[in-house]
A and B are shown apart, each in its own frame.
Chain A
Amino acid sequence: MPKDSLFQYVLGMGDDALILGQRLSQWAYKGPFLEEDIALSNISLDMFGRANLLLEYAATLKGNGATADELAFKRNEREFKNYILCEQPNGNFADTMVRQFFLDAFYKLFLQNLTKSKDDQLSAIAQKSIKETTYHLRHSSKWIIRLGDGTAESHAKVQSAINNLWMFTNELFEMNDIDNEMVKQKMGVDCSILKIEWDQIIDDAFSEATLNRPEDANMPSGGRQGIHTEHLGHLLTDMQYLQRSYPDATW
């Protein structure tokens, strides 16, 4: 198998964790209350930890002295391979929780399958990450139920967040050439079969939360090919500022 396929595969997962971690870190000291501020920062930290594991592995696969830091701070927008859902702005607290819930539910299923990967390093990272994601999902699903089944205002806000973010969920289950190659090598996960279980997790929470599931309409994708929404560029200018202004600066 071409090493580049594995590299691209690991990079996509690493970028998901990095970009979502960066988004969550933007909540630090702005959370709705202290405990939730700490929760969002903790989840962000888990994501950065995961991004570090994956990007270090990706750097090893790339070779030629590549490093995780270079991958994080010296690539441009089109070179990032994260799902576009990860880069969507924080919005209000309901927007952030819906984004998190959709991704936690997806990643729980994805990582469960990835623990069986024939690639030892991917399997090890999945075994580590699944425990954290299971905990994150518990947190985000509880919030979906609490907000949906809460006040008229919280219900309206979480329903509006669902309606706005729903379009980005289809991409999670798409399979490209690299994904297919990885499944063929028994290293990767067939995302297309995860949709049924994901729907179940979503439907169960929505039903308890008295929320409605939107119809599929225009469902954009392209993150894994480096085609993003306008929001990623703004995020990168912030995240990469130091390395761009002072290249190779060290502490």
Chain B
Amino acid sequence: MVKKLSTDSIWEMLKTIPDPEIPAISIVELGIVRNVEFDNDQLNIIITPTYSGCPAFTFMKEEISRHLELREITNYQIKTSLAPPWTTDWMSDEVKVKLKEAGIAPPSNEVICPRCDAPTVAVISEFGSTACKALYKCNECSEIFHHFKQI
């Protein structure tokens, strides 16, 4: 069973798992999946946390397990790697567009309003509802929005 699987098909499967906190993007797009490889018959999935205390990380691991088991893949290990540390630089431009469409300002040193594109924004809180986001307000259109913190 396992031998017939390719790493490509595993990557495709992982791309269907949404980030539990930001469902507009997948866990692959978030950049936490670092590698997928077969060691003989065993599938190894290497993932890295965004923030060391992110409570969604455990949930993501459980979701990966659930998806694998739905496909009757049982010989696998999900391993955590810490270095190199996760960075928002791993997000592609397409992912940044998806974030903006979901109303979240993508990671950048120059935060602009995701609703009206105005650059005149103010920080409300350096910390948001999840570890990876900060809270901003647009001085132009008054929209309150999250910024995906650039790290």
Q: A residues within 8 Å of B by Cβ?
A: 35-36, 38-39, 41-50, 52-53, 120-121, 123-125, 127-129, 131-132, 135, 138-139
Q: CB-CB contacts of B22-64 with A at 8 A, as 1s and 0s?
A: 0000000000000000000000000001011111000000000
**B interface bracket (residues with beta carbon within 8 Å of A):** 20 to 34
A-side contacts of B49, CB under 8 Å: 49, 128
Task: Judge whether B52 and A49 touch: CB under 8 Å.
Answer: yes
Q: How far is the CA of A141 from the CA of B1 in the complex (A)?
A: 56
Q: Is B82 an interface residue (CB 8 A)?
A: yes
B-side contacts of A46, CB under 8 Å: 51-53, 131
A-side contacts of B54, CB under 8 Å: 45, 49
Q: Is B8 an interface residue (CB 8 A)?
A: no
Among B55, B85, B86, B129, contact of A38 (Cβ-Cβ < 8 Å):
B129
A–B complex contacts, Cβ < 8 Å, 11 sampled: A42-B127, A43-B127, A45-B54, A46-B51, A125-B82, A127-B83, A127-B84, A128-B52, A128-B83, A132-B52, A139-B126
Task: Judge whether B125 and A132 touch: CB under 8 Å.
Answer: no
Q: Is B91 an interface residue (CB 8 A)?
A: no
Task: Judge whether A127 and B85 touch: CB under 8 Å.
Answer: yes
Considering only residues 102-151 of chain B, those with a C-beta below 8 Å from chain A are 124-129, 131, 135, 149, 151
Q: How far is the CA of A149 from the CA of B81 in the complex (A)?
A: 43
Residue of B nearest to A35 (CB): B125
Contacts A46-B51, A52-B52 known; list 20 others, CB within 8 Å. Answer: A38-B127, A42-B127, A43-B127, A44-B53, A45-B55, A46-B52, A46-B53, A48-B53, A49-B49, A49-B52, A50-B52, A53-B52, A124-B83, A128-B49, A128-B83, A131-B151, A135-B126, A135-B149, A135-B151, A138-B126
Instruction: Point out which of A41, A53, A121 has the most chain B C-beta atoms below 10 A from its C-beta.
Output: A53
Among A39, A45, A121, A123, contact of B126 (Cβ-Cβ < 8 Å):
A39
> Given A45-B55, A48-B53: A38 and B82 within 8 A (CB)?
no
Distance in Å: Cβ of B123 to nearest Cβ of chain A: 10
Task: Judge whether A47 and B127 touch: CB under 8 Å.
Answer: no
Distance in Å: Cβ of A141 to nearest Cβ of chain B: 12
A-side contacts of B128, CB under 8 Å: 38, 42
B-side contacts of A38, CB under 8 Å: 125, 127-129
Task: Judge whether B53 and A124 touch: CB under 8 Å.
Answer: no
Q: How far is the CA of A138 from the CA of B81 in the complex (A)?
A: 27
Residue of B nearest to A36 (CB): B125
Task: Judge whether A35 and B151 touch: CB under 8 Å.
Answer: no
Q: How far is the CA of A43 from the CA of B128 in the complex (A)?
A: 11
B-side contacts of A45, CB under 8 Å: 51, 53-55, 131
Task: Judge whether A123 and B53 touch: CB under 8 Å.
Answer: no
Residue of A nearest to B130 (CB): A42
Distance in Å: Cβ of A190 to nearest Cβ of chain B: 22
